[in-house]
Structure 1
Amino acid sequence: MKSFLRGKGLLLPRRVMIHSAIILCLSGSSGLLAQEDEASQPAIGLPPMLDLPPGELPGLGAFANEQPMSQAPKARSLTALQITEENIGDLARGGPDGVAGIGDWWLSNGELCVAISDVEHDTGIVRGGGNLVDYSHCDLRNDQWTYSNILTGLAKETAIPVRTISAKLEGDTAEIIAVGEANGLRQTVTYRLERDASNLEMEVLIERVKEGDPVRISGFFTLHTNTSMTPYTLSSYMPDASLGFQQLKIDRSNTSSLLAGLMPADWNILVGTTLFDTEASYGVQLESVELLGKNGSRQSLPTFLAVFPDYSMHGWLTRPLWFQSVKLDTFSMLQNKFMDLKRGERMLAKFRLRIGKRSDVAAITDQVYRGPILRGYSNYTNVSFSVWDPYGRPVTQARPDADGSFYIRLPRNMNRVRVDAVAPWGQRISRDISVSDERNDTGRWIFRRNGRLELPRGIPMSLYFFGMNDTPDPAFGDDLLGFSIAGELQKGQQRTNRIDLAGIESDAKQVSLPPGQYRVLVARGIEYKVKEYLLSVVGGKTSRLPIVAPVRHWYSENWRSTDLHVHSGASFDSALPIKERVRSFVAQGAEVLVASEHNRYIDQRQTVTDMGLEEQVQLITGSELTGMSRGPKAPFTIGHSNVFPVEPDEKAFAGGIVPIENRRLGEVIAAAKERDPESVFQLNHPRSVDGLDADSAFFEHLSLGRAYDPRQPLDSEANRSLLEIDPTTGARDLDFDLLEVLNGSEFDRYPFVRNDWFSLLNQGVKRVATGNSDSHGLQLIVGLPRNYVYLPGSIKPPVDEKAFVRSLKQGHSYLTTGPLLKLTLRDDKGNQFGMGDTLASDRGTLDIQVEAAPWVNVERLNIWVNGQLYRQLPVSPGDHKVVEVVVGGDAWLVVEVDGPASEIYQMLVPDMTPLALSNPIYFDADANGEWRP
Structure 2
Amino acid sequence: MIHSPERPLRPRPGRARARCAAQSALRRAAYVGLAALSLAASTCAPPLQNGSVVVSSGAAERLGMLCRWGHGGGEQGELCPAAEGAARPARVRRITAPADALTGPLAVGRPGDYVLENDEIAVVVEQLGPGTGLAESGGHLIDAADARARRDELGQLVPRLGAPPRQVIYRDITTGAGEGGAAWIEARGEVRGRELAGGALSVTTRYTLGPRDRAVVLTTSLRNDGDRPVEALDLGDVVHWGGAEHVAPGMGPGLRGEHEAPYVAGIGSDVAYVLAPTDGATMRTRSGAGFSDATFARQAALPPGGRVEYQRLLAVAPRGDSLAAATELFFLAGGAPGGVALELVDARGAPLRPIAGKATLTPIAEEGAAPATGALDLWLRTGEGEPLAAEAPPGLYLVGFEGSGRRALGSARVRIRAGEIAPARLTLSGAGRLDVRVQERGASAPVEDEDLSVPLTPAKVNLFDATTGRAVSPPHFTLTGELQLSLPPGRIRVVASRGPEYALAEATVDVADGTRSQIDLTLERVVDTSGYIACDLRQHTAQSADAGVDAAARIVSNVVEGVECAVTSDHNLAADLRRDVTSLRLEAQLRMLPGVELTSGRSGAGIGSLSVFPLGAEAAAPREGALRWVDETAGEILREVRALPGERVVQVSRHHGGGSPLHASGSPPSGPDQRAPPSAPDQGPSLLAQIVGDGAGVDAVEVWTGREGAARDRALEELWALLRASRPVTPTATSDTHGLHGAEAGYPRTYIAVAGDDPGRLDVGDLVAGLRRRRDVVITNGPFVTMRLGDTRQGGVASTRRGSRGGPLSLTIRVERAPWVDARELHVLVGGVATGAPIPLEGARTTAAGALLDEIAIPVVLGAGRKPSHVAAAGEPRPGKSAPRALFLAEDTFVVAIVRGHRPLEPVLAGEPDEILPFAMTAPLWIDADGDGRSLGRAAAP
TM-score (norm 2): 0.69
Aligned to 2:465: 467
Other structure's SS at 2:521 match: coil
Q: Distance in 2 between matches of 1:885 and 1:519?
A: 48
Q: CA deviation at 1:786?
A: 2.0
Aligned to 2:380: 400
1:645 equivalent to 2:610? Answer no
The alpha-carbon distance between structure 1 residues 705 and 820, as it changes in their structure 2 partners (threshold 3 A), is closer
1:754 counterpart SS class? helix
The DSSP-based 3-state class of the residue aligned with 1:597 is coil
Structure 1, gaps ≥5 residues long:
1-25, 233-242, 253-257, 289-301, 318-335, 478-497, 710-716
- Partner SS, residue 745 of structure 1: coil
Identify which range, 448-457 or 852-861, moves more after superposition.
852-861
**Which letter does structure 2 place at the counterpart of 1:460?**
P
Q: 1:166 to 1:838 in 2, by over 3 A?
A: farther
Whole-Å separation in 1 of the counterparts to 2:212 and 2:561: 50
Which residue of structure 2 lines up, in the alignment, with residue 297 of structure 1?
Answer: none
Distance 2:306 2:530 in 1: 73
Distance 2:207 2:418 in 1: 41
What amino acid maps onto 1:886 in structure 2? V
Q: Flag the 1:522–1:423 CA change in 2: closer, same or farther, 3 A.
A: same
| Structure 1 residue aligned with 2:802 | 841
Please state whether the residue corresponding to 1:178 is helix, strand or coil: strand
C-alpha separation in 2, matches of 1:447 and 1:170: 52
- Aligned CA distance change for structure 1 residues 198 and 705 (closer, same or farther; 3 Å): closer
1:861/1:895 contact within 8 Å kept: no
Alpha-carbon distance change, 767 to 140 in structure 1, aligned in 2, over 3 angstroms: farther
In structure 2, distance between residues paired with 1:902 and 1:363? 39
Partner of 2:267: 272
Structure 2 residue corresponding to 1:178, chosen from 187, 197, 210: 187
Taking a change above 3 Å as real, the CA distance of residues 216 and 541 of structure 1, as seen in their structure-2 partners, is same
1:402–1:630 distance in 2 versus 1, CA, 3 Å? same
Mapped contact 2:154–2:242 kept (Cα < 8 A): no
Contact 1:304-1:316 within 8 A present in 2 as well:
no
Q: 1:179 to 1:148 in 2, by over 3 A?
A: same
- Give the equivalent residue in structure 1 for 2:538: 565
1:454 and 1:542 in contact (8 A); partners too: yes
Partner of 1:814: 778
2:359 to 373, 384, 387: 384
Measure, in 2, the Cα distance between the counterparts of 1:95 and 1:614. Answer: 27
RCO greater where, 1 or 2, for CA within 8 Å and sep 6 or more? 1
How many residue pairs get aligned? The number is 783
Which of 165, 169, 175 is the matching residue for 2:173?
A: 165
Where does residue 775 of structure 1 map in the other structure?
Answer: 737
CA contact (8 A) 2:115 2:122 kept: yes
Give the distance between the partners of 2:103 and 2:756, measured in 1 at CA: 40
Deviation at 1:528, TM superposition (A): 1.8
Which of 801, 805, 825 is 2:764 aligned to? 801
Letter of the aligned partner of 1:589 in structure 2? G
**Aligned 8 A contact 2:728 2:936 in 1:** no
SS in 1 for 2:723: helix
Q: RMSD of the alignment, in Å?
A: 5.3
Q: Deviations over 1:399-431 (max 9, x none)?
A: 2231473232357xx6x7535234369858544
| Alignment counterpart, residue 421 of structure 1, candidates 400, 406, 412 | 400
Say which is worse superposed, 565-574 or 384-393, in terms of deviation: 384-393
Residues 228 and 187 from structure 1, CA distance in 2 versus in 1: closer, same or farther, beyond 3 angstroms? same
**Equivalent in the alignment of 1:719:** 685
2:152 alignment partner, SS class: coil
Q: Given the superposition, is the C-alpha separation of residues 353 and 533 from structure 1 closer, same or farther in structure 2, using an over 3 Å criterion?
A: closer
Distance 1:656 1:517 in 2: 51
Give the equivalent residue in structure 2 for 1:583.
Answer: 556
Residue 503 of structure 2 aligns with which residue?
529
Q: Distance in 2 between matches of 1:648 and 1:145?
A: 29
User: How far apart are residue 731 of structure 1 and its match?
Assistant: 11
Cα deviations across residues 611-654 of structure 1 (Å, max 9, x unaligned)?
Answer: 32221212222333334x354x67xx623443222348888574
Q: 1:823 touches 1:848 (CA, 8 Å); kept in 2?
A: yes
Q: Which amino acid aligns with 2:718?
A: D
Matches within 5 A, 1:814-893: 814-821=778-785, 823-826=787-790, 835-836=795-796, 840-841=801-802, 843=804, 846-858=811-823, 860-861=825-826, 863-867=828-832, 876=844, 877-880=852-855, 885-888=860-863, 891=892, 893=894
Contact 1:667 1:731 in 2 (8 A): no
Matches within 5 A, 1:241-640: 243=249, 261=260, 263=262, 268=263, 270-274=265-269, 279-284=270-275, 304-310=282-288, 311=292, 313=294, 315=296, 349=311, 351=313, 353-354=315-316, 356=318, 358-362=320-324, 365=327, 373-378=339-344, 379=352, 380-386=355-361, 398-403=378-383, 405-409=387-391, 417-418=396-397, 420-423=399-402, 430-433=411-414, 440=421, 442-456=423-437, 458-469=456-467, 471-477=468-474, 498-503=475-480, 509-548=483-522, 550-627=523-600, 629-631=601-603, 638-640=607-609
Inter-partner Cα distance in structure 1 for 2:26 and 2:762: 70
- Structure 1 position 860, deviation (Å): 4.9
Corresponding residue of 1:329: none
Does the 8 A contact of 1:167 with 1:177 survive in 2? yes
Assess if the C-alpha contact under 8 Å between 1:118 and 1:129 holds in 2: yes
User: Is 1:207–1:345's contact at 8 Å kept on the other side of the alignment?
Assistant: yes
CA distance in 1, matches of 2:900, 2:225: 65
| Contact residue 570 and residue 597 of structure 1 kept, 8 A | yes
Distance of 1:797 and 1:890 partners within structure 2: 43
Q: Is the counterpart of residue 230 in structure 1 residue 276 in structure 2?
A: no
Deviations 1:766-800 (A, max 9, x none): 21122233333312343232222222234333523
Deviation by residue 1:169-188 (Cα, 9 ceiling, x = unmatched): 99988653211356586543
Shift of 1:121: 3.4
Contact 1:684/1:739, CA 8 A, preserved across alignment: yes
Query: SS of the residue aligned with 1:362?
Result: helix
**CA distance in 2: counterparts of 1:619 and 1:308, whole angstroms:** 32
In structure 2, give the amino acid aligned to 1:382: G
SS at match of 1:797: helix
TM-score (norm 1): 0.69
1:448 offset after TM fit, Å?
2.0
State, as a whole percentage, how many aligned pairs show the same letter. Answer: 21
Q: Counterparts of 1:897 and 1:215 in 2: how far apart (Å)? A: 45
Deviation of the 1:896 alpha carbon: 1.5
Q: Secondary structure at the match of 2:728?
A: coil
Distance 1:121 1:104, change over 3 A: farther
1:138 & 1:657 partners in 2: Cα distance? 33
CA distance, structure 2, for counterparts of residue 346 and residue 922 of structure 1: 56
Tell me the CA shift for residue 370 of structure 1.
6.2
Residue-by-residue CA offset, 1:25-67 (whole Å, 9 max, x unaligned): x99x9x74544588999996899xxxx9xx999xxx9995476
User: Distance between the aligned counterparts of 2:388 and 2:547, measured in 1?
Assistant: 28
Residue 145 of structure 1 and its aligned partner are, at CA, apart by: 1.9
Task: Report the 3-state secondary structure (helix = DSSP H, G, I; strand = E; otherwise coil) of the residue aligned with 1:783.
Answer: coil
- Structure 2 CA distance, aligned partners of 1:551 and 1:345? 66
Change (3 A) 1:899 1:447: same
1:814–1:42 Cα change, 3 Å: closer
- Segment of structure 1 superposing worse, 800-809 or 534-543: 534-543
SS in 2 for 1:142: coil
Alpha-carbon separation, structure 1, partners of 2:11 and 2:650: 53
Q: 1:794 to 1:132 in 2, by over 3 A?
A: same
1-side partners of 2:340 and 2:858: how far apart? 76
